[in-house]
Amino acid sequence: MAATVMEGVLHAFEIAKEERIAAPIEIVFETILEQMGPLNSTPEKPMPMVLEAWPGGRWYRDLGNDSGHFWGHVQAIKAPALLEISGPLFMSNPAVSNLQYRLTEEDGETVMRFRHRAMGWVGDQERGVDAGWSDMLARIRDAVTERARK
């Protein structure tokens, strides 16, 4: 077994967005749960998620037959002011994210403040790990083929 000590591979980033919405705070909160859950989508296509809206609840893609992709856990929820999620999201890397939707009512509108902070080892393909795993997978495939022949 080979072990490699990696240096300089950890990164962190933050994405912050703020939006003023002409709707009552409880409607905005309910809509966030819907959009993060069954109505979730990418700019290209619908991508329904399951969001269990309670502390410790899971946020995941259910692909049926016990298949799917876990994106995170509800770290804190306080309707209608806060939804906080922590987890790997869709990063198949040793990385963790914290998401926060914070809502306040100001001048008859709802202000939605969003933060996504992430840290970890990002971009393994660019650092040669992809090639390493491809070799490993090729070896496994060869071994399986060899066994099947016997």
Partner 1 sequence: MLADGQEYAVNEIVVRMKMAQPAVSKHLNALRKAGVVTVVKRGQHRMYRLDALALKPVHDWVRVFERYWTHQMDQIKQRAEQKALERLIRQDKDKK
Member of 19, 62, 130, 135 binding partner 1 (CB under 8 A): 19
Q: Distance between alpha carbon 25 and the CA centroid of its chain, in Å? A: 25
Rounded CA separation 110/104 (Å)? 6
Residues forming a β-bridge with 113: 18, 102
Contact at 8 Å (CB) between 16 and 114? yes
From the CB of 127, what's the least distance to partner 1, in Å? 8
Give whichever of 77 and 89 is closer to partner 1, judged by the CB atom. 89
Rounded CA separation 146/144 (Å)? 5
Give whichever of 15 and 131 is closer to partner 1, judged by the CB atom. 15
Site string for partner 1, 49-88 (x = CB under 8 A): ----------------------------------------
Give whichever of 42 and 145 is closer to partner 1, judged by the CB atom. 42
Given the rule CB under 8 A, which of 35-43, 66-74, 131-139, 140-148 is the region that contacts partner 1? 35-43
From the CB of 17, what's the least distance to partner 1, in Å? 6
Member of 42, 65, 67, 92 binding partner 1 (CB under 8 A): 42
**Half-sphere CA count of 136, side-chain side, radius 13 A:** 8
Q: Is 123 in the site for partner 1 (CB under 8 A)?
A: yes
Contact at 8 Å (CB) between 79 and 54? no
Closest CA to 103 of 28, 22, 51: 28
Member of 58, 61, 73, 127 binding partner 1 (CB under 8 A): 127
CB-based burial label for 23 (10 Å; 0-12, 13-18, 19+): middle
From the CB of 64, what's the least distance to partner 1, in Å? 23
